């Protein structure tokens, strides 16, 4: 896509305005609802796998390790994806479902807003322990950066309990959250809403010309 991936833009900008992150999160949430109703989990949501089109709409890519759950076996146990974005239930190998994608979306949203992920460590083992055991901690300046509604969404997406996690098995609850107040989901799905910020696709035109 002409806009490249979110990792490229994150490295250029370091972080994004809240309104822009809300737009991206809503776009990906629509994609998740679409695949989850078909019992498919992406399992590798991260900035590298989110592509932007010329209108600055976000799209999921790279379904190489996606899994479709059987009606009679709605859980999987194997780890798949990138550890930094893996949900606790996947790391614990206790059985997981499409809930893991909502956790990954929360990690991505946090990273876009603050330029860092909420769980970090020097080694893979320490990172796994942090994701499983450490509480969610926001930067000290969080109230100067994002709204309380945004904090609530991040907290909901990064709930360590998959059963309580925002978005999982209740997309209507997700859409009705106050953070999305005023957002026309139907128009967003039809790509009839302008992005809060225009996207500079110049670098990609130059690379392909």
* Nearest-angstrom CA–CA distance, 86 and 30: 20
DSSP states of the chain as a string? -TT-BHHHHHHHHSS--HHHHHHHHHHHHHHHHHHHTTTEE----SGGGEEE-TT--EEE---TT-EE-BTTB--B-S--S-GGG--HHHHTTS-B-THHHHHHHHHHHHHHHHSS-SS--SSHHHHHHHHHHSPP---TTHHHHS-HHHHHHHHHHT-S-TTT-TTTT-HHHHHTSGGGTT--HHHHHTT-SPPSS----HHHHHHH-
So which residues are the catalytic ones? 44
129 token code pair: 């322990």
170 token code pair: 């209740």
> What angle is formed at CA 95 by the lines to CA 93 and CA 100, rounded to 5 degrees?
90
């Amino acid at each position: 896509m002409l806009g490249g991936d979110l990792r490229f833009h994150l490295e250029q900008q370091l972080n994004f305005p809240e309104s822009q992150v809300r737009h991206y999160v809503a776009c990906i949430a629509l994609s998740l609802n679409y695949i989850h109703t078909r019992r498919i989990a992406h399992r590798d949501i991260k900035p590298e796998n989110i592509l932007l089109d010329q209108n600055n709409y976000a799209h999921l890519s790279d379904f190489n390790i996606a899994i479709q759950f059987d009606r009679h076996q709605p859980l999987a146990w194997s780890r798949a994806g990138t550890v930094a974005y893996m949900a606790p239930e996947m790391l614990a190998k206790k059985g997981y479902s499409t809930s893991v994608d909502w956790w990954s979306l929360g990690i991505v949203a946090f990273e876009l807003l603050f330029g860092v992920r909420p769980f970090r460590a020097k080694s893979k083992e320490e990172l796994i322990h942090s994701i499983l055991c450490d509480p969610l901690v926001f930067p000290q300046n969080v109230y100067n950066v994002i709204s309380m509604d945004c904090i609530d969404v991040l907290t909901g997406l990064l709930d360590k309990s998959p059963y309580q996690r925002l978005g999982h098995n209740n997309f209507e609850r997700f859409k009705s959250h106050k953070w999305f107040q005023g957002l026309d989901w139907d128009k967003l799905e039809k790509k009839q809403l302008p992005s809060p910020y225009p996207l500079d696709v110049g670098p990609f035109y130059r690379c392909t010309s």
